Amino acid sequence: MSGLPRVQSMSGQVRTETGFTGIGTGEITSGARRETSGARSGFYIRFGKRIFDTLGAVAALVIVGPVLFLCAVALRLESRGPVFYRQWRVGRYGRPFQVFKLRTMIQGADKQGLKITASDDPRITRVGRLLRKTKMDELPQLFNVLRNEMSLVGPRPEVPEYTLKYSLAERKVLNAKPGITGPASLAHINEEQLLANRTDKEHFYVSTVMRRKLQIDLAYCRKISFFEDLKNILLTAGALFVPGDFRPKRMKTTPHITGETTGSGTRT
């Protein structure tokens, strides 16, 4: 891909031209091998998950293709700038990749503010606000799945700046391929609302929200299975399309976090 940074392994770290420094791929890979269990070495982990991802992504693109086209037209009519937005994230084994999204903010917004975004962020366009609320801005990540950079279900990939703040235990989450959705994404589906009224948005995200999400993702990584992935996809569909007041209690996913305020953040 054009613009992909060169990655060099240096004493257990990875350095790229974008300035990212993280765990080297060899170190993470060896850690993954040491932790491999019977469940993780099964057919689904080695082959089935990739087959499920590919078939699911192709089917989803066929279904949502017209929706993506209409979203692209709306974005072009409302504001200047490209339809798609690409951002560097950290993938499996610490490898950087560019995640695809529909652009929901003004052009150059990533150079004008924080890496996280609250629902009241003035950089968000009117069409972008709708796309973020319905999560339709994430649909282009189906192409990341086809490129084998992401999975349908898995830990959400973070920007390099935040991945650097992972503890050694938290870095184990990089043993899994990042996903479009997952248990941590479901538990924080209203993350933008959680951060809206906070003055310390970035500090609160890194010190509290991200830590909780990592714990949920690590728990998922220990029990990856076809039925677990299917459950998360169905719960995601329910969370997006079933009105909140009518969802079963098990689908009310946003947790209470100590110190939170009522209010709306996710990364740009």
Over 80: is that where the pLDDT of 72 sits? Answer: yes
Over 70: is that where the pLDDT of 129 sits? Answer: yes
Among 30-44, 53-67, 90-104, 127-141, which stretch is predicted with the lowest mean pLDDT? 30-44
pLDDT band at 120 (very low <50, low <70, confident <90, very high): low
Q: Which two three-digit tokens encode residue 213?
A: 């999400």
Over 50: is that where the pLDDT of 144 sits? Answer: yes
Bigger pLDDT: 82 or 190? 82
- pLDDT score of 184: 95
Percent of the chain with pLDDT over 70: 70
Contacts of 136 (CB under 8 A, 6+ apart): 67, 71, 102, 130
Selection from 240, 49, 221, 222 nearest residue 151 by Cα? 49
DSSP 16-43: -TT--EEE-HHHHHHHHHHH--TTTTSH
Average pLDDT, the chain: 79
Over 70: is that where the pLDDT of 80 sits? Answer: yes
Longest dimension (CA), the chain: 53
91-116 confidence digits (pLDDT tens): 999 999 999 999 988 776 666 666 56
Pair 171, 128: CB distance under 8 Å: no
Amino acid at 6: R
- pLDDT score of 109: 65
Contacts of 67 (CB under 8 A, 6+ apart): 136, 139
- In angstroms, what CA-CA distances link 233 with 5, 54, 182? 32, 14, 8
Please report, for the chain, the start and end positions of each structural domain, with discontinuous segments joined by +: 8-267
> Residue range 226-233: average pLDDT?
96
Alpha-helix residue ranges (DSSP H) falling in the chain = 25-35, 43, 49-78, 126-134, 141-146, 160-163, 183-187, 191-195, 201-204, 210-221, 226-241
- pLDDT score of 116: 63
Q: How many CB atoms lie within 10 A of CB 74?
A: 18
Contacts of 258 (CB under 8 A, 6+ apart): 208
